[in-house]
Structure formats: C-alpha cells, structure tokens
Amino acid sequence: MKRLFYLLSFLLISVGMTFAQTTRVTGTITSSEDGEPVVGASIVVKGTTTGTITNYDGKFTLDVPSSAKTLVISYIGMKAKEVAVSRTVNVKLDNDTQNLDEVVVTAMGLTREKKSWVMPFKRSNLMN
C-alpha cells in the first residue's frame, strides 16, 4: 500500500512540474525618439492572454511558458513590435504618427426638454 502511495505521489509531482515550466523574462521598453522609458506599455505572449505592463521606469518582469516563442509589445501612439522570447528583452518602440485630414463633430439626436416649473410649498400649508 505504501509503495502504491509513493508511486502515485511521484507521478502527480512529476506531471505538475512538467506543466509548470516557465521562463522569467525581464526587460526595459524605451522610446526610440528620446530614449525615455515607456510607462504602461503592454507585453503579451503571442497567442495567449498572459502578459504584463511596464512600471514607471519602463521595466517589466513576466513568467512565460516554455513553449512560447514570441512577445508582442505595444503602446498607444507607438508601433507594436514582436520580439523573440529570451531572458532579457530591451526594446525601443517607434512613434506611430498619423495625420488626420479633417474631423467632423455632430450632435445627432440631441433634444432638450422643456423645463417644468414647480410651485414651492407655502410655509403655512406645511404647518397644518
């Protein structure tokens, strides 16, 4: 009985360790224009929902599954980049400038209601 218990325990532990293999990836995301850190850039493992964002210094740490091959790094106003997974990832993001030709602002379906006037209570009516 003990032998069976030890065998099952060993199998469960080995299966758990096989599925739990991850690689810790650290790095820094900066702007290619001025070299400043990009705060809040998202780093996501391609094809999954596993990801993180950069801190105030543009640094991040992410535990990536061992089967992952690519990281997608993006930020609003900058071009997204795909980089290979390695222990240290330092990326410079380029600005994504797009000029708008014209902007049209409309107020369709905007209606106003008539203001209703309510007669205030008289003090004498409240006392009775």
**At 55, which CATH number?**
2.60.40.1120
> Average pLDDT for residues 95-107, to the nearest whole number?
74
* Residue range of the domain that includes 36: 21-96
Q: Is residue 4 part of a domain?
A: no
In a domain, 66, yes or no: yes
In a domain, 125, yes or no: no
- For the chain, the average pLDDT equals 81
pTM: predicted TM-score of the whole model, two decimal places = 0.62
SS3 (DSSP) at 51: strand
Given a cut of 90, is residue 126 above it in pLDDT?
no
Alpha-carbon torsion, ordered 7, 10, 11, 14, to 10 deg: -160
Digit-coded pLDDT (tens) for 1-15? 777 777 677 666 765
Q: Rounded to an integer, what distance in angstroms lies between the CA atom of residue 86 and that of residue 70? A: 9
Q: How far apart are CA 20 and CA 67, in angstroms?
A: 11
